[in-house]
């Protein structure tokens, strides 16, 4: 598995999954993404996982627009957009996640879940069920397993077309 963080190179047609969802905005709130990466590792995922957070390196975007452009390029070029929404007020709002989810849902490459305790996710649940005819996942490991199955299916279909 390759892991790519903010600022890392984005290659088109790469077998990849991006971890969409709320990002902590302060130093005391833990990100859900390290747990997700551990699950991908345990499942021996052979692809790229994009993490829209800074790594421990000193790289930083010069401004918010550069960050948004990087994320957009990832979304355009990834195979699957995994949305995990552990929304909790006031420390894990996920307001940008609402916009991204609604904007990219019609791409047909989204997969969505949230824990049972997630707050104010009724509209996301409804929209996902409406557009994909599926219920949201309520377990991160199950969501990741399904995202790997989906990216493998997409990858296989692309090989058959070639």
pLDDT tens track of the chain, all 162 residues? 999 999 999 998 889 999 999 998 888 889 999 999 999 999 999 999 999 999 877 788 889 899 999 999 999 999 999 999 999 988 888 999 999 999 999 999 999 999 999 999 999 999 999 999 999 999 999 999 999 999 999 887 765 544
Q: What is the pTM of this model?
A: 0.94
The Cα 25–Cα 150 span in angstroms is 30
Q: What confidence score (pLDDT) does residue 26 get?
A: 83
Phi, psi of 160 (to 5 degrees): -70, -35
For the structural domain made of 2-161, what CATH number should be given? 3.40.50.450
Q: How many CB atoms lie within 10 A of CB 19?
A: 23
SS3 string of the chain? CEEEECCCCCCCCCCEEEEECCCCCCCCCCCCHHHHHHHHHHCCCCCEEEECCCCCCCCCCCCHHHHHHHHHHHHHHCCEEEEECCCECCCECCHHHHHHHHHHHHHCCEEEECCCCCCCCHHHHHHHHHHHCCCCECCHHHHHHHHHHHHHHHHHHHHHHC
């Amino acid at each position: 598995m390759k892991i790519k963080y903010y600022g890392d190179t984005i290659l088109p047609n790469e077998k990849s999954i991006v971890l969409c969802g709320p990002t902590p905005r302060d130093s005391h709130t833990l990100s859900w993404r390290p747990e997700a990466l551990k699950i991908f590792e345990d499942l021996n995922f052979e692809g790229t996982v994009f993490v829209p957070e800074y790594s421990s390196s000193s790289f930083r975007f010069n401004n918010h627009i550069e960050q948004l452009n990087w994320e957009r390029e990832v979304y355009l070029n990834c195979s699957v957009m995994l949305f995990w929404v552990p929304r909790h007020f006031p420390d894990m709002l996920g307001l940008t996640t609402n916009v991204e989810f609604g904007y990219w849902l019609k791409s047909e490459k989204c997969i969505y879940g949230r824990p049972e305790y997630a707050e104010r996710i009724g509209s996301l649940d409804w929209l996902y069920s409406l557009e994909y005819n599926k219920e949201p996942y309520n377990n991160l490991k199950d969501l990741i397993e399904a995202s790997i199955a989906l990216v493998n299916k997409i990858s296989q279909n692309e090989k058959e077309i070639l």
